[in-house]
Structure formats: C-alpha cells, structure tokens
Amino acid sequence: MPASAIAQTTSSAVTQLLRQSLDHGRWASGSPLRQEEIAAEFGVSRVPVREALFQLQAEGLVEMVPNKGMYVRTVSAADLRELFRLRRLIETDVLAEAVPLHDAASINRLETVQAALDKAKSVADWIAGDRGFHEALYAPANRPESMTMVRRLRFLVDRFYFARMKPTARAQGWHEEHHALIRAVRRRDAKAAAKVLQAHLAETERSALVALPTT
C-alpha cells in the first residue's frame, strides 16, 4: 500500500476515534485539544492527528482559536435551535422523496436496525443505532449531498446531549416515534411520515436544550 494511502487510513481512524470521544463527552465544551497528547495516546505521529482535527473542524465539532490551537466547539441554545431547524428542513425533504421508493428489502432493513436499537443499553450503541435508523430511513432517496449535510448536523447535535443523557432518558418516546415512522413508510404515506419526523425532531430538540450545560 502506498505511503499516502496508509497515512490517509491512519488519519481516518484517528478522526473516528476523536469523534467517538466527543460523542461520549470526554472533553467539555471549550476544552483544548493538544495534538502532541492525542498523538502519544493513539501511538501515531502528529500529522494524522492534525489532519483529523482539521476534518473535525470542517464538520463543526472543533474550532480553531487564533494563536492558541484547536478547542472543542461551544454551542449555545440559539445554535442548537438553528441546527435543529436545519435538520427539520433537510431531513423532511429527503424523507418525502424516500418514502415512495422504499421496498420490502429496505423496510426490512429499517425494522432490523430498529429492533437492535430497541435493545441498546449503552450510549455508544444508542448513538450508532439511532444514526443507522435514520440512514436506513432516508437511503432510498439516494441523495448523497443531502446526507452529507444531515450527518454533519447530527454530529454537531449529538455530542451536546447524548453525552449527558442515558439511552433510557426518552427511550419510550423514541421507540414510539421510530415505529410510527416505520408504519408510515409501510403505507407509503409521505405526509404522515413527515409529520411524525417533525414531531420526533422537535422532541429531540427539547431534550437537547435541557441537556445543554448552563454557563
């Protein structure tokens, strides 16, 4: 494997590890991210760490403070409200296109992901399962650019509340809303699915705002 390919793989792995650490709340908002410390912990050079931090900066998870370095991004209540507004706009649009394109195989995939999510016990399993559910929900629309934006918004939002919540915090609500989405998809009822999704994201927004640390 060429050296450039190895370096890219290493950078991707470090990015994923750092993203997971942010998901789990390892660093508080505003905390510095020191390249040399991260490199030593992961047993890599500073190059892939630097590349990973730039990738996370592009995703909006970290921010560069001039003359100081990279810090975990701080998000306000107003920021969260804007992020969720964008999520509602983009995700309902993608869902409207996806619903009539779902078939037996894609619905089975959606149900399988949800069945695993219903059994999730850890925060890590919950995050992965919830992201997987929405990926499967929107997949038939085949909207790669839209999904890039959806993922970016999710990464920004997730770390500000999943790190402070247990999967059981609103488990029943998420369970009911996800299954209502599945039922609407089975009926090919895009209007009903959009209504459920809007309510689902609104409730998730309320949970995120409650979990947001006060200053």
What are the tokens at 202? 């609104």
Amino acid in position 110: L
- The tens place of each residue's pLDDT in the chain, 215 residues long, gives 334 443 456 888 999 899 888 877 788 888 899 999 999 998 899 999 999 999 999 888 888 988 888 998 888 889 899 999 999 999 999 999 999 999 999 999 999 999 998 888 777 788 788 899 999 999 999 999 999 999 989 888 877 666 555 555 666 778 899 999 999 999 999 999 999 999 999 988 888 888 776 65
Strand partners, 32: 71
Confidence (pLDDT) at 4: 44
Confidence (pLDDT) at 168: 59
Residues of the chain with CATH 1.20.120.530: 77-211
Residues of the chain with CATH 1.10.10.10: 3-72
Run of H or E residues at 198: helix 190-211
Find all residues with CB under 8 Å of 122, minimum gap 6, and list them: 167
Please choose, from the candidates 84, 81, 129, 110, the residue with its C-alpha nearest in 3D space to the C-alpha of residue 193.
110
77-211: CATH topology: Four Helix Bundle (Hemerythrin (Met), subunit A) (1.20.120)
What does pTM read for this prediction? 0.78
What are the tokens at 181? 């989405």
Whole-number Å distance between alpha carbons of 209 and 1: 46
Whole-number Å distance between alpha carbons of 201 and 203: 5
Q: What is the CATH number assigned to the segment(s) 3-72?
A: 1.10.10.10
Within 141-189, where are the H helices?
A: 144-158, 171-186
CA–CA distances in Å: residue 52 to residues 4, 112, 115, 170, 172: 15, 32, 33, 32, 36
| 162 in Cβ contact with 126 (< 8 Å) | yes
